Amino acid sequence: MTASFVTRTILFFATISLSASAVSANEDSDAITQATMRYVFQKADVDDPSVTIEKIVPGFARVKVISISGKTDPAIAFLKGGNSKWKVLSLGTGFTRKDLAEMGIPASLAP
């Protein structure tokens, strides 16, 4: 085995690993957006939501939800999940660190 072959092999597997991570992140982003939209349509009085993922940490996400027409105040949704399966834990306009702790949401997701 030459050093060149070993280097190419390492680079090949590193590229595959990064590609798989990117696909997984995209799938999670799509799943987070879809779960939030479903929740907003079913539980909130918003028929024109815009969803922006603000932060993702392992197993949790924080999402900003606004009404495009301004019908409602902007809100924050906290989700739990992974592997493309996400569930909204809470949607609201104000959360304290204590609120987040009671829901098991990491402090790093505090707005």
Distance CA 43, CA 33 (A): 15
Instruction: List the domain boundaries for the chain.
Output: 28-109
Sheet holding 75-82, edge to edge: 49-57, 60-67, 75-82, 85-92
Q: Up-side HSE of residue 50: CA atoms within 13 Å toward CB?
A: 9
Query: pTM (2 decimals)?
Result: 0.76
* pLDDT score of 30 more than 90: yes
Q: Please state the rounded mean pLDDT for residues 47-64.
A: 96
Distance CA 64, CA 46 (A): 13
Distance CA 86, CA 60 (A): 9
Q: Please state the rounded mean pLDDT for residues 8-15.
A: 41
Residue 90 is predicted with a pLDDT of 97
